[in-house]
Amino acid sequence: MDEFESLKGFYDRYPEKWVAWREIVDAVEEAAREFGFREINAPSVEPTDLFRVKSGEEIVEQTYSFEDKGGREVTLIPEQTPTRARLVQQRKDLGTPIKWFDTSKRWRYEAVQKGRDREFFQTDIDIFGVESVEADAEIIACAASIFEKLGVADAVEFKLNDRQLLDALLRAMDVDGSKDVMRVIDKKEKLSRAEFLGRLQEEGVNRDTAEEIDELTAISGEMESSLVELSDKAPDGADEAINRMHDLYDALSGYGVESMCTFDLSIVRGMDYYTGLVFEAFATESDLRALFGGGRYDELIGQFGSRDVPAIGFAFGYSTTMQLMQELGEWPDEAVSTDAYVLNVSDSVREIGLEYAMELRREGLAVETDLTGRSVGEQFGYADRINAQYTVVVGERDLNEGVVTVQDMDSGEEEQVPNDDVVEYVLDQL
């Protein structure tokens, strides 16, 4: 018989591997909940036209799109933003701010490479209905909180820019076709200075202005000092946009996350998507690509219905963050764990053993017991294999003396515990 394997870009995660992933997902969701984001649950399959609205016909080539048995064109969702736009448009009664998060699988049909899979987990965290600097700051503060929970905040920085600021600077320099110029700026990091200036000139920018753009987009680093430098060098007409970034810095300082944020005028992101603040998270001491990104997309929701709704958010991807945590030795242990194993010395005490197991479970503990009639030695071996912290040994002789033996599986030490105190004892040890 043929043996089957998972498809390329799809992964099997057995319990010992998934337990580590689950810990990371829990940390991300915990941060979202602490900031008051509410969890939603949305379809994994949507009409393909929903994604065409945002991305055009080419989306079909980049996704798992097909015709279902009803003859409808459908797509496994590659992202959740169009779905969220649909949900917001459907419910006119939702009060603002609308703060949602969701963790689920996404699918893209593209080349598999390091940190980029065809099936992947993503957590989307968004605020709808508010266009204030305070909303921008809260989104970044929530993202920073995630890395604090994961223990890698010191190795991560957020690079921030504002598309309106960049657009204002280009308009003040009388640059036409600013979107084409922004696309060149977006690639600046990969170009030499001569190539960068040449690309700008190909877009109709004269040499002097190209050099001015090069000088301005070289401004990066600590936010406050960078914005002061930008204020000194920027042409007239960009003051309002610069002041908004100053306000954002003040708001980030209120959250205590300003030290994780730097200013980088060359961060542009999706041209047909983002309208204001844009940001990307990077590992400071690693050659990993961006961990994730996000920004303000005030004009997108209106494409899916009758009303315009400002929005800001980010999509947290797990694969690259996993690589960073592994590099830094912060990836959780890939091993299952169990709070307690209840060992029955004989069939005659099985019912009593199950009572102990159920009482411990009612206290929220992960508890296993024998299902196959193993010997005492085999049961101890199994308890060790599932990383049980304590084994509750239930035997007739002990019960007749009014006690139960509880063994610490790490140290091997045993304690004789009165029958009625077993649950309380195990809880105290944990």
Q: Has residue 165 got a pLDDT over 70?
A: yes
Helical (H) or strand (E) element with 13: none
Q: Has residue 114 got a pLDDT over 80?
A: no
419 with 271, same domain?
A: no
Whether 154 is in a domain gets the answer yes
User: Which pLDDT tens digit goes with each residue over 292-328?
Assistant: 999 999 999 999 999 999 999 999 989 899 999 999 9
pLDDT for position 288 = 84
305 with 414, same domain?
A: no
Whether 73 is in a domain gets the answer no
CA distances from 342 to 173, 187, 389, 394, 401 (A): 75, 60, 11, 7, 19
**Alpha-carbon distance 149 to 319, whole Å?**
17
269 with 378, same domain?
A: no
- Please say whether the beta carbons of 105 and 44 come within 8 A: yes
381 with 265, same domain?
A: no
At 214, give phi and psi (nearest 5°).
-60, -40
Q: For the chain, how are helix, strand and coil distributed in percent, rounded to 5?
A: 45, 20, 35
Short-list 314, 315, 316, CA closest to 324:
316
Q: Has residue 272 got a pLDDT over 90?
A: no
Whether 58 is in a domain gets the answer no
pLDDT for position 187 = 87
Whether 7 is in a domain gets the answer no
Q: What percent of the chain has pLDDT over 90?
A: 74
User: Which pLDDT tens digit goes with each residue over 147-161?
Assistant: 999 999 999 999 999
Cα angle value 171/133/128 (rounded, 5°): 100
Q: Has residue 71 got a pLDDT over 90?
A: yes
Whether 113 is in a domain gets the answer yes
347 with 321, same domain?
A: no
Contacts 24+ apart (CB under 8 A), 140-143: 140/252, 140/255, 140/257, 140/261, 140/279, 141/35, 141/252, 141/255, 141/257, 142/31, 142/32, 142/35, 142/37, 143/281, 143/292, 143/294, 143/314, 143/316
Confidence of residue 219 (pLDDT cuts 50, 70, 90): confident
Other CB atoms closer than 10 Å to residue 337's CB: what's the count? 12
Q: Has residue 29 got a pLDDT over 90?
A: yes
197 with 262, same domain?
A: yes
364 with 233, same domain?
A: no
State the chain's mean pLDDT as an integer: 93
Q: Is 200 helix (H, G, I), strand (E, B) or coil?
A: helix
197 with 258, same domain?
A: yes
pLDDT for position 393 = 97
pLDDT for position 258 = 96
CA distances from 237 to 174, 259, 264, 281 (A): 11, 29, 19, 29
Q: Which of the listed residues 280, 295, 327 is the one where a domain comes to its end?
A: 327
Confidence of residue 107 (pLDDT cuts 50, 70, 90): very high
Q: Counting Cβ atoms within 10 Å, is residue 256 exposed (0-12), middle (13-18) or buried (19+)?
A: exposed
pLDDT for position 2 = 76
Most confident among 124-138, 189-203, 261-275 (mean pLDDT): 124-138
Whether 139 is in a domain gets the answer yes
166 with 267, same domain?
A: yes
Lowest-pLDDT range of 1-5, 65-69, 137-141, 339-343 = 1-5
108 with 255, same domain?
A: yes
Q: Has residue 415 got a pLDDT over 70?
A: yes
149 with 256, same domain?
A: yes
pLDDT for position 188 = 87
pLDDT for position 167 = 86
Q: How many domains does the chain have?
A: 2
Domain range for residue 418? 338-429
Q: Which of the listed residues 300, 327, 354 is the one where a domain comes to its end?
A: 327
Q: Which of the listed residues 327, 353, 381 is the one where a domain comes to its end?
A: 327
Q: What CATH number is attached to the domain comprising 421?
A: 3.40.50.800
Q: Has residue 271 got a pLDDT over 70?
A: no
Q: What CATH number is attached to the domain comprising 178?
A: 3.30.930.10
Whether 396 is in a domain gets the answer yes
Residue 3 vs residue 370, higher pLDDT: 370
Mean pLDDT, residues 24-46: 97
253 with 397, same domain?
A: no
Mean pLDDT, residues 358-380: 96
Whether 297 is in a domain gets the answer yes
